[in-house]
Amino acid sequence: MYNLSILMVEDDEVMAEVICLYLQQEGYEVSVCKSAEQAWELIEHSPPSLLLCDVNLPGETGFELVKKYREQYPAGIIIFLTGNSNLSEKLKGFQVGADDYITKPFMIDELLARIKAQLRKERPQQLEKEEKLNIGNLIIDFKTKAVYKNGKKIELFTKEMKLLFFLASNYGRVYSAESLLELVWGYETESDLKTIVVHISNLRKKIEDDPKNPKYLQTIRGFGYKLFYEGS
């Protein structure tokens, strides 16, 4: 049905088997690893569409695995599935690059819904026919998930990159702050509309020659934001 791959890193064999069964019934290709070390070997050989990861693992922790994965694959989708429910652990999960954080016990329907929501957010990027978007002095590379300004690579944080690539994959289309929060941030309910304003501002500082007079990341008053360059 989806032809998308999920790598689950879970050392509880019974739980892994049950979740795997439900995911396969939904049409996903599922691989299961018991440790971070085993998972990394598989990731290097065949990166998954989504990484579903526990925190407490034998050997390297889920946090360590996810941090390394996020550095190597900045556009990958990561969901923590763990019994660690305290706020500090949850915040750490997002800090190392998670897109969502689900605590045990959980309802399987909620897990499936969150997985579908995260994968659905990536679809517009995967539908791009062109590998690169060249506008002005910017190059946005859809294949390598890299951004260059005047030939020099720009370092972006995870959400900055996801926001920019979403707008790039929908070039010229206007999105409200509310829509961007839903489409890019999804289930991270702690975020509000100020988050979009902050990320737009930070992106402009990195990609614009004059952030106060943006020529790429434009504000359409009363409607929202779009990525567009008048000279293209």
Give the pLDDT confidence score for residue 116 in this predicted structure: 85
Looking at the fold, whether 134 and 117 belong to one and the same domain comes out as no
In a domain, 46, yes or no: yes
Does any domain span residue 91?
A: yes
Same domain, 9 and 104: yes
For residue 81, the tally of other CB atoms under 10 A from its CB is 22
Residue at a domain's end among 125, 159, 192: 125
- Rounded (5°) CA angle 223-225-227: 140
**Residues 118, 24 within the same domain:** yes
116/26 same-domain check: yes
Is 149 within the bounds of a domain? Answer: yes
Please report the pLDDT score of residue 232 as a whole number. 55
Same domain, 88 and 102: yes
Closest CA to 6 of 14, 15, 22: 22
109 domain residue, yes or no: yes
- 119 with 162, same domain: the answer is no
- pLDDT value of residue 148: 96
What is the mean pLDDT of each successive set of 10 residues along the chain, which is 232 residues long? Answer: 76 93 90 94 86 93 91 82 85 86 89 85 46 90 90 92 89 85 68 86 96 94 89 62
Decide if 19 contacts 8 (C-beta within 8 A).
Answer: yes
86 shares a domain with 143: no
Quote the pLDDT of residue 96.
Answer: 86
Is residue 147 located within the same domain as residue 118? no
- Identify whether 105 is part of a domain: yes
| Judgement on whether residues 11 and 46 belong to the same structural domain of the protein | yes
Q: Is the pTM of this model over 0.85?
A: no
Give the number of other CB atoms < 10 A from CB of residue 193.
Answer: 12
Radius of gyration of the CA atoms of the chain, in A: 18
In a domain, 163, yes or no: yes
Domain boundary among 125, 148, 174: 125
Number of domains in the chain: 2
Q: Are residues 184 and 170 in the same domain?
A: yes
Give yes or no: residues 10 and 120 share one domain: yes
Q: What is the pLDDT of residue 123?
A: 43
Q: Residue 205's domain is classified under what CATH number?
A: 1.10.10.10
Residue 232 in any domain: the answer is no
Contact 8, 32 (CB under 8 A): yes
Domain that holds residue 216: 129-227
Residue 40 is predicted with a pLDDT of 94
Answer yes or no: is 214 within a domain. yes
**CATH number of the domain bearing residue 33:** 3.40.50.2300
Judgement on whether residues 51 and 163 belong to the same structural domain of the protein: no
Burial (CB count <10 Å: 0-12, 13-18, 19+), residue 85: exposed
Residue where one domain finishes, among candidates 125, 157, 189: 125
> Can you give the pLDDT at residue 130?
57
